[in-house]
Structure 1
């Protein structure tokens, strides 16, 4: 009788492919390329200037970075957003008021049944998990979904250019009155 350990040692060579190799893709899936273009501009590396806006109107500034790439045979985009920048992260660093110190990832997956993108954001550094739906709204991209703290959230990519974009995070308790919580200006590196 063969043990599980022996069986695993004799696994076919296709199972020895590295995790990064099976996750990452070189570009969008050709069959879905037209629909995947909504977020394709995000692929790459970005520096970000972050402003948080507290409920009392006070603001705080920080810097961070974003890294984004194609994954899952080009059917999705994954990114990592971090504040502060990776080379400034250490255990004793002060939290950015109103946002905390992000180190999270987004999965952006086009859903042909919705003709929209399913957005999954998870940040174990700040213990935040959200699900949103993303769609084009004119030249902007708007992602909306329930806020884990109650109410609704809206995250908007605007002023999208090849080397820059503007991103805002807003929250509403009544889906009518929106309060901006985070404002980001990004530059391609």
Structure 2
């Protein structure tokens, strides 16, 4: 018997969400596509904001039970013309009724784990940053063609929050 072996992309990517819990999959599934994003990050040491531009690509993976994204930036030093700087995997946990989120940005040394739940007209992701401080990442104002995202950090176990990143994006695909 001859069996073919799928490519890595074929084995990872899914054509759409799992039909087992379609409503839950829409939470992050609404972000599937490609986005042109502009953002700014706060340097907590000096209080200065730095702007940046990137492309955010999101798709269903793991037989449609998860959504994965990659953040890419233009790069003259890469043969493809872009560098992949980060990825996040968001897996719906039907037993807990939440999304489990893991974020990886190896070049900057960021590794974060969060739990996502619906919040107002968006999604809230609460967890712990690489440095051990509480973090909160909010998707807000999500429409079919745009969203805003904010990253917050707490220095006092969640009593107060400091905005450290803000992104806005428009759909390009």
TM-score (norm 1): 0.82
Q: Structure 2 vs 1, CA of residues 149 and 102 (structure 1 numbering), >3 Å: closer, same or farther?
A: farther
Q: Matches of 2:68 and 2:132 in 1, distance apart?
A: 26
- Structure 1 unpaired stretches of 5+: 1-10, 92-100
Change (3 A) 1:89 1:111: farther
Residue number in structure 2 paired with 1:54: 43
How far does residue 90 in structure 1 lie from its aligned partner after superposition?
3.3
Is the counterpart of residue 176 in structure 1 residue 159 in structure 2? yes
Return the alpha-carbon distance in structure 2 between the equivalents of residues 77 and 164 of structure 1.
18
User: Per the alignment, in what secondary structure is the counterpart of residue 13 of structure 1?
Assistant: coil
CA RMSD of aligned residues (A): 1.8
Q: Residues of 2 paired with 1:71 and 1:150: CA distance? A: 29
State whether structure 2 residue 24 is matched by structure 1 residue 41.
Answer: no
The answer to whether structure 1 residue 186 and structure 2 residue 173 are counterparts is: no
Question: Do 2:111 and 2:129's aligned partners in 1 also have CA atoms closer than 8 Å?
Answer: no
**Which has a greater percent of strand?**
2
1:67 matched residue in structure 2: 57
Indicate the structure with greater helix content. Answer: 1
Q: 2:17 is matched with which residue: 21, 28, 49?
A: 28
Tell me how far 1:12 sits from its aligned partner.
4.1
Deviates more, 1:143-152 or 1:71-80: 143-152
Give the deviation of 1:102 after TM superposition.
7.1
- Corresponding residue number in structure 2 for 1:88: 75
Q: Which whole-Å CA distance do the structure 2 matches of 1:102 and 1:184 have between them?
A: 17
Unmatched 5+ residue regions in structure 2?
none
Q: Normalising by structure 2, what TM-score?
A: 0.89
